[in-house]
Structure 1
Amino acid sequence: MNPFQEKIAAACAKKEALFDESLGRYALRSMFAGAFLTMSTAVGVIGADVISTGIPALARYTFAFIFAFGLAYVLFFNGELATSNMMYLTAGAYQKNITWKKAITILVYCTVFNFVGATILAWLFNQSFSYQNLSDTSFLVNAVQTKLAKTDWQNFTEGITANIFVNVAIMAYILIKEESAKLPIVISAIFMFVFLVNEHLVANFASFMLAAFSHIEGIKGLNILNVLRQWIVVFFGNWIGGGVIIGIAYAWLNKTKTKHID
């Protein structure tokens, strides 16, 4: 097998073994992933608000840059993130490293506990000084209202592109041999999708729950039905982007007898 196939096979074997051995431990790994992205979201929001008091044009850059470190935490500390598992498990099922049924089961379980981890951290952050002083003009409020006003088609297509960026970062992390090169490429890919305000399911768990637990009232679109609509559409968009366009595509590219591999 070539490096991509080996990494996918090894990742699927590891995830299946962890899942089968202890659902509790796998749940905690998934909760950590949701929590790590909530940490960077929470800090990024406050950073954007602070810098916007002096240089408003830099607020979006600030948030995107700080948020990107959340995925780095997930990668370096072995969190189980649904959007990266979309690539691993879909490519693995295509390569027959794992059954489709098991891949879907693990992905759904991971997604649920990403949400649990994000929810717990969102509640904790809302007990802090910074969030007690959040205003209705905060970067967080504006971002959440923008996301919840998008059409299903916008959410779906932006979900696709967001998870292409995310899994470019994942592939950089697993395939690039030079350790010092991994972090800059991971940060760059995540920065790009966040700056474009593309839709990433677990990032939305973080931002929506931070807003839901806040003392800010009347956030437009922040109701259960609209939030669930957004999350469901983005889930499938993310799966197309990460699972099909990156996962299956690269698995197919590397299913060759020539010496050329990707």
Structure 2
Amino acid sequence: MSVQSDTADVPVAAHRLQPGSQRAGGESGQVSISVLLTSLAVIGAALAFMVFAEAVDVRSSTQKSADAAATAAAEDAREKWIEAWLRAQNSPKGSDRPSHGGGILPETGGTDKKESSLKFTYKPPEPFWAAAAASAYPTAISYARKNDGGTVTSYMPGGGNRISVDVYRAKQSESPQGKKFVPTVGGKSSATAQVVAPRGLACAPLPNGTVQAWTLQCVSAKGTATAQYAEGVLVTWDKRAFKKMYTIRLDR
């Protein structure tokens, strides 16, 4: 009797173990899904980081391109601006004197006061800035392209002798995995360059000048510069000295 009772209990015990086995299998499936999701999240984060790193690199190179474009345009505009301003200065008006064949009058021991008096109307440089700044646009385009292939999307000459430039640059994603999701990475940057005018600028012809030949001298807090004229036409000007007076400052 006891043997039969023990034998009958065996299937009951086995039957009671089955629910526990099902729970273990279910937990194993849940763990597998969690591991898969975690792996996908890690891969996604890695791809996002690579794309972000490329975007930062593009942004940095685009800023470099914008800085170069704005600075080069300001340098070009400065030279054109100063030259246009100097060319616009009127020749001093003197008394009616013999031209001596159109040459420079010879020096004499005594100079008539009437002859030595020169009437000069000074023209300030500010009105000549707008045209000079506008003409420097091709320079901005050229320098943006030279620096990592940037494209000028906006070119704005402004007050205070400023030139503002927006540059856009795009390149293909270098990551084999990242390019599947983000084929192209782009960036946009801006820069403003200013031609800083000197304080206390004052210009006047040097003494003993004539209508045929005279020298304009400009003095400011940043030094002295001169320009030479003949027959009312600008012949030459001290570019180095004038550029030293009109410095360039880069803003972002």
User: With structure 2 as the length reference, what TM-score do the two structures score?
Assistant: 0.26
Larger Rg: 2
Between the two structures, name the one with larger relative contact order (CA 8 Å, sep ≥ 6). 1
User: With structure 1 as the length reference, what TM-score do the two structures score?
Assistant: 0.25
Greater fraction of residues in helix: 1
